[in-house]
Structure 1
């Protein structure tokens, strides 16, 4: 498979051909709700405990007496028991207000053609990342499971809160609710960019945006700059009539967009100029 067609800094979106006009004509890209992800474990949260060892180390460093240490730890456990419920509820609310665009740095992945591009009947769109108004972030992969990663994140935030419960908020307000809301947003962002290592082959990057940042009736379309689409590759199983229809639409929208069509060459997919 030739690897000269695509830009070295490009990002790619494997997709059904239905939404291609949003990209080429309206310069927008469709985001997905997390509840619609194909992995039921993706961004699913269940907290069972919070590790307070960092808070305990802090107490020891301040010369706390044994009696006070025991009292403060028991008090912290009671606080964090309620915190788990608040965090779970708060994270679900934060995540429900987001749309996510899933991209990859790999334009030659057979599995992704099968899984995301309508079994090779869809398209792969090449994007210039400089025209993405919201920066994409690489997904981190973990072998310890989603819940374990979430527990680590929440434990860190909980201990930070216990150590400095009235720390200054970004707005300058010493307010628990403001601080809690800010940290929930930070946790939600980290959580969205974490997946199980089984998905590592996707080499995924994600763009997360809030509904108010998008366009359309439900805010799920993220505006891109003109020139964001470098090329569109049609799948090897796309019907000829559909390929001709899309080619005409794309060239009418932006003649500078390159068009390729995959052909099967032995065990390889070979994108050729169409």
Structure 2
């Protein structure tokens, strides 16, 4: 399966240089509701669940600090995604083959990519009365409905993301915000550069930004263009023999 990851220009360059993708703890997401199902025993302070014992609320708190999520999407040409996660159309997107990247393995992933379709709802999922295992015990073999409530439900507000998730265990140390996964070079199938990529380079007087189109030619590289009549983006193959424009 081919999926896509939006990034800033600096993040894109680091990803391509190091061949890594990042699993982030839900507690560090921009959505404070993410992976925080409703529980009657939740103690809330600014929507951060606080640990006190062995209640479901406590387990949710530990899960949000001990599980990493890789957020992917189906569409590399979503204008809203470019605006929110692609550095205002100045960044990039990588196309990842989930099989080659190891994102379908149920031994290393709690939720593989093929089972990671996010469910958008108007109602927050509840774990009242459920037995939630500790974060270290959660595996891909756990009850599917429970895994969905813990990791795959999001508010309908976020539906434009068309998100696909991969979940796995990460270092539970609170100071660690994310964990990187090394992937083979063959797993990266293409790179998309934003519609304002050339603008970013023109504005880069000190030449601090990476020239991704010059440094990384082992992938298919595409430039995003604005449609002249609609609100759509189009991808055009980039010819490295021609100047970026």
Same fold (TM over 0.5): yes
Match of 2:180 in 1: 221
Aligned-residue offset at 1:181: 3.2
Match of 2:93 in 1: 124
Aligned length: 200
Bigger-Rg structure (1/2): 1
Structure-1 separation of matches of 2:136 and 2:179: 24
Structure-2 separation of matches of 1:42 and 1:219: 15
Match of 1:181 in 2: 134
Matched, 1:111 2:80: yes
- Which whole-Å deviations, capped at 9, do the CAs of 1:4-51 have from their partners, x for residues lacking one? xxxxx41011111212234323221022221232222222344128xx
**Structure with the largest fraction of strand:** 2
C-alpha change, 1:219 and 1:182, in structure 2 (3 Å) is closer
**Structure with the largest fraction of helix:** 1
- Which whole-Å deviations, capped at 9, do the CAs of 1:179-215 have from their partners, x for residues lacking one? 9437973546641111112222221111112225xxx
User: What pairs up with 1:12-161 in 2 under 5 angstroms?
Assistant: 12-48=4-40, 86-134=55-103, 135-136=112-113, 137-144=116-123, 146=124, 149-151=125-127, 154-155=128-129, 157-158=130-131
C-alpha change, 1:180 and 1:126, in structure 2 (3 Å) is closer
- Provide structure 2 residue ranges, at least 5 long, that are not aligned to the other structure: 42-52, 104-111, 239-245
Q: Is the 8 A contact 2:63 2:135 kept in 1?
A: no
TM-score (norm 1): 0.64
Aligned-residue offset at 1:93: 0.7
- Provide structure 1 residue ranges, at least 5 long, that are not aligned to the other structure: 1-8, 50-83, 159-178
Q: Is the 8 A contact 1:120 1:235 kept in 2?
A: yes
**DSSP 3-state at the match of 2:120:** strand
TM-score (norm 2): 0.70
Q: Is the 8 A contact 1:91 1:184 kept in 2?
A: no
1:263 to 220, 225, 239: 225
**DSSP 3-state at the match of 1:31:** strand
C-alpha change, 1:43 and 1:110, in structure 2 (3 Å) is same
RMSD, aligned CA: 3.0
Match of 1:172 in 2: none
Matched, 1:205 2:170: no
**DSSP 3-state at the match of 1:141:** strand
C-alpha change, 1:188 and 1:97, in structure 2 (3 Å) is farther
Structure-2 separation of matches of 1:264 and 1:112: 15
